[in-house]
Chain A
Amino acid sequence: MRALTWHGKHDVRVDTVDDPEILNPRDAIIKVTSTAICGSDLHLYDGYIPTMQAGDILGHEFMGEVVETGSDSTLQKGQRVVVPFTIACGSCFHCGKHQYSACDNGNPADNQDIAREMYGQPMSGLFGYSHMTGGYAGGQAEYVRVPFSDVGPIVIPDGIEDDKVLFLSDILPTGWQAAEFAQIEPGDTVAVWGCGPVGLFAVQSAFLMGAERVIAIDHFPRRLELARRFGAETINFEETKTYEALMEMTGGIGPDACIDAVGLEAHGLFVDNVVEQIKASTFLGTDRTHAIRQAIHACRKGGRVSMPAVYGGFVDKFPLGAFMEKGLTLKTGQTHVQHYLPGLLNAIIEGKIDTTFLISHRLPLEQAAEGYKLFHDQQNEATKIVLKPGLDRIAA
Chain B
Amino acid sequence: MSADTQTEWPDEAPLTTSKNSDSAKIAGEALVEPKGNSLSGTTVTINRPRAELFAYWRELSNLARFMENVVSIEQVNGRQSRWVVKAPAGKTVGWTSVITEESEGDFIAWASEDGADVPNSGRVDFRDAPGGRGTWVTATILYDPPGGVLGKIIAKMFQREPAIQARRDLRRFKQLMETGEIATAAWTRAQLEEEIA
Contact = CB atoms under 8 A, between A and B. Distances in A.
Say whether A and B bind each other: yes
B187 A21 contact: yes
Contact of A23 (B159, B174, B189): B189
Contact of A105 (B168, B183, B189): B183
Contact of A91 (B47, B68, B187, B190): B47
Nearest to B171: A109
Interface residues of B, number: 29
A93 interface: yes
B151 to A, nearest CB: 21
A19 B192 CA distance: 14
Given A23-B189, A25-B181, A110 B168 contact: yes
B186 A23 contact: yes
A145 B189 CA distance: 12
Given A20-B188, A23-B192, A109-B168, A91 B183 contact: no
A125 interface: yes
Interface of A is mostly: loop
B171 A26 contact: no
Interface residues of A, number: 36
A18 B178 contact: no
Contacts of A366: none
A146 to B, nearest CB: 10
A135 interface: yes
Contacts of A18: 187-188, 190-191
Interface in B137-183: 159, 164, 167-169, 171-172, 174-175, 178-183
Given A92-B47, A93-B134, A104-B174, A109 B187 contact: no
A136 B190 CA distance: 15
Contact of B182 (A109, A135, A145): A109
A112 interface: yes
User: Across chains A and B, which 5 residue pairs bring their CB atoms closest together, nearest first?
Assistant: A109-B171, A20-B187, A24-B181, A135-B185, A89-B179
Interface of B: 45, 47, 68, 133-134, 159, 164, 167-169, 171-172, 174-175, 178-192
